[in-house]
Amino acid sequence: MNIILLGPPGAGKGTQARRLVEERGMIQLSTGDMLREARTSGTEMGNKVAAIMDSGQLVTDEIVIGLIEEKLNGDHGGGFIFDGFPRTLAQADALGALLTSHDATLDAVIEMSVDDEALVSRITARSTCGACGEVYNDETKPIPTDGKCTNCGGTEFKRRADDNADSLKTRLMEYYKKTSPLLGYYYAKGDLTSVNGLGEIEEVASAISAVLK
């Protein structure tokens, strides 16, 4: 089963994708994570995209399509969760063609809808465990006072360079201009289902499970 989690930054795509990996053995393909890894390891591509990512703009279709193509050539495990990809119509077309060339199908596109005000407060207060990616929020889910991640016991927490009010404005604008047309695109194909991304993590997870049944 191959699915896309679609939604603006801060909608909870990464959190839900990690659950699906644990519960169903699916493989999370997050182009954001891949690009951050490329930056950390200092590859030529990583250095090229760093400033664009920090500003909140999208990197070129060519780069992210190349990243996904490489992964589709590897192990397909229990299916793929596309998280943060596709983000443009060109990427959506490319994904369709890539899946077809691997005799694979797209089984569901799940929109996680969250209102803009909630996104801003989620993102500007967000930090994650450096070891397992568990997400914390300064107000609603602070890092435990013993400084240990509740999920894995890790003790290093990170804030993303682009989780600030300025970059977020650009990221939201990019989402509405370039990514939100994908909702119509997948609706027209009959692939789209929306879930309310504002609930508790468990509630959102069971709404997603219901779609996947």
Binding flag, residue 19, ligand AMP (CB under 6 A): no
Least gap, CB of 18 to ligand AMP (angstroms): 13
Residue 39 annotated to the active site: no
Least gap, CB of 162 to ligand AMP (angstroms): 6
Residue identified by tokens 């070891």 is: 131
- The catalytic residue among 126, 148, 189, 213 is 126
* C-alpha torsion angle, residues 193, 83, 60, 185 (rounded to 10): -10
Q: Which residues of 36-142 form beta strands (DSSP E)?
A: 80-83, 108-113, 126-129, 135-137
DSSP class of residue 97 equals H
**Strand 126-129 versus strand 108-113 pairing type:** unpaired
Closest to ligand AMP by CB, 51 or 145: 51
Closest to ligand AMP by CB, 148 or 169: 169
Residue 18 annotated to the active site: no
Task: Kindly identify the residues of this chain, within the stretch 159-198, that bind ligand AMP according to CB under 6 A.
Answer: 162, 171
Residue 19 annotated to the active site: no
How many residues bind ligand AMP, per CB under 6 A?
Answer: 17
- Exactly one of 84, 122, 134, 192 binds ligand AMP (CB under 6 A); that residue is 84
The DSSP string of 123-164 is HHTEEEETTT--EEETTTBPPPTTS--TTT----EE--TT-S
Q: Which helix (H) or strand (E) holds 86?
A: none
Task: Give the binding site for ligand AMP (CB under 6 A).
Answer: 9, 31-32, 35, 52-53, 56-59, 64, 84-85, 87, 91, 162, 171
Give catalytic residues, as residue numbers: 13, 87, 126, 160, 171
